[in-house]
Amino acid sequence: MTRKQQRRRGMTLIEIMVVITILGLIAAAVGVAVIPMLNESRRDRVGLDIKNIQNGMKIYYTRKGQYPDTGAGLRALVALGVFEAVPKDPWGNDYVYMNEGGQPVILSYGADGTSGGEGNDADISSKDAPQVATR
């Protein structure tokens, strides 16, 4: 083989840089499309978790004749064997339970884990009757 034919076997630095740039653009486009869906799915999961906790509260009420007080919180469901562990929201925070006048209220403080906020940081409460998106 001649020296010219041997050089053509490999890729030049410019060709490698073009391929890496194209892969970076593809990764960025996928990231822009996937991240909003991830946030939406977390909020949907909170709605499902709240409904699951409400069902657990109904079981607790059936067995005890009342809802647990705010101090006992969701640990009362674990003690009764309704749940294996205290549920956490998709952001890793504990769900907040309050007994307001004999009615249970379950809430997640959102992505920031503090009261208030907008968008992904907004609170999601059982009072708001969270709606789960259907596709």
Domain CATH number, residue 108 = 3.30.700.10
Residue 36 lies in a domain: yes
- Regarding pTM above 0.75, the answer is no
pLDDT tens per residue across span 5-25? 555 667 788 999 999 999 999
Nearest partner of 126 among 57, 80, 76, 63, judged by Cα: 57
Q: Which domain holds residue 119?
A: 12-128
Residue 133 lies in a domain: no
Nearest partner of 117 among 127, 129, 125, judged by Cα: 125
- The tokens for 95 are 């769900």
Residue 122 lies in a domain: yes
pLDDT tens per residue across span 60-90? 999 999 999 888 889 999 999 999 999 999 9
Q: Structural domain tally of the chain?
A: 1
CA dist 36 and 32 (Å) reads 7
CA dist 49 and 88 (Å) reads 9
